Amino acid sequence: MLRGMLLAMLLAAPAAAEEVDLELVLLADATGSIDDAEIRLQREGYAAALLDPEVLWAIRNGGALGRVAVTYVEWASAASQDVVVDWTVLAGEADARAFGAALVAAPRRAFGSNAIGAALLRGLALIEGNGFEGGRRVIDLSADSAWNGSGPSIAAARDVVLGADVVINGLAILCRGNCSGRPRAGNLEAEFAGQLIGGPGAFVVTAEDGPSFARAVRRKLILEIADAAPEDGVAGVERP
């Protein structure tokens, strides 16, 4: 009977979390302002950036373990958030290549208007339930607007995420088509810095147009994976 009780306890015990240097949720904009060509541009930008030699170097050398856990999620309305590529451990080029191939091949399943607060909370839920234990935990949200049309407010969601010791970084996409890279009104970088990002070393990186998107993603991933300080030209702030 005692052996049976011990066996039952062992079977009921949760599996030990897999240790990684970083748990990273990539929240990519898939709202109504993003057409299918732009979805493809974003995915191909991430797939290419993950194979960049400096990104691969950061994965191998940015922490004690040389391993990061990453998931890619496209967000739109509060009811439309799609995990495009589930949690994957990246430890080298083969892992990054497989992640990128899965990312580019997956169909689009997220549509609707902006619900940034809901997207942040979805990212937190994915971190809390992923079975990994990271030395750092980061949610990275890309968007071409700071408007939050439905669901929880950005401020409320941000407070919950930061309260769980998760850093929020931002990728501000200023334009994708035939434009100068700077919107006529507003300042998306400042809005992200003031309303969205938070946690130690949080920062905003800017993609000024379609061709610069992959370069912005590469730069952002290096900073996040290597836990580096923001450079000149990156709107970095540290918030409590």
The DSSP result for 68-93, as a single string, is EEEEEEEE-STT-EEEEEEEEEE-SH
Q: What is the mean pLDDT of residues 37-64?
A: 93
Confirm if 30 and 145 have CB atoms less than 8 A apart.
Answer: no
d(CA 96, CA 34): 25
| Full 3-state SS string of 199-211 | CCCCEEEEECCHH
Q: Tell which wins on pLDDT, 209 or 180.
A: 209
Residue 163: band (very low, low, confident or very high) from pLDDT cuts 50, 70, 90 = very high
Identify the weakest region by mean pLDDT among 45-49, 153-157, 184-188, 229-233: 229-233
Q: What is the mean pLDDT of residues 43-56?
A: 95
pLDDT of residue 219: 93
User: What is the rounded average pLDDT for all residues in the chain?
Assistant: 86
Q: What is the mean pLDDT of residues 141-154?
A: 90
Residues 6+ away with beta carbon under 8 Å from 215:
207
pLDDT of residue 88: 98
Q: What is the identity of the amino acid at 208?
A: E
Q: Tell which wins on pLDDT, 178 or 149.
A: 149
User: Which residue has tokens 């950005």?
Assistant: 154
pLDDT of residue 16: 75
User: Which residue has tokens 């992200």?
Assistant: 192
Q: Is the pLDDT of residue 183 over 60?
A: no
Residue 208: band (very low, low, confident or very high) from pLDDT cuts 50, 70, 90 = confident
- Residue 181's region, left for phi above 0, alpha for psi from -120 to 50, else beta, is left
The percent of residues above 70 in pLDDT, for the chain, comes to 83
Burial 102-113 (b: 16+ CB within 10 A, else e): bbeeeebebebb
Q: H/E element holding 238?
A: none
Residue 98: band (very low, low, confident or very high) from pLDDT cuts 50, 70, 90 = very high
d(CA 56, CA 111): 32
Q: What is the pTM of this model?
A: 0.87
Q: What is the identity of the amino acid at 201?
A: G
Q: What is the mean pLDDT of residues 36-46?
A: 91
Task: Say whether 23 sits in a helix, a strand or coil.
Answer: strand
Q: What is the mean pLDDT of residues 227-232?
A: 66
pLDDT of residue 50: 96
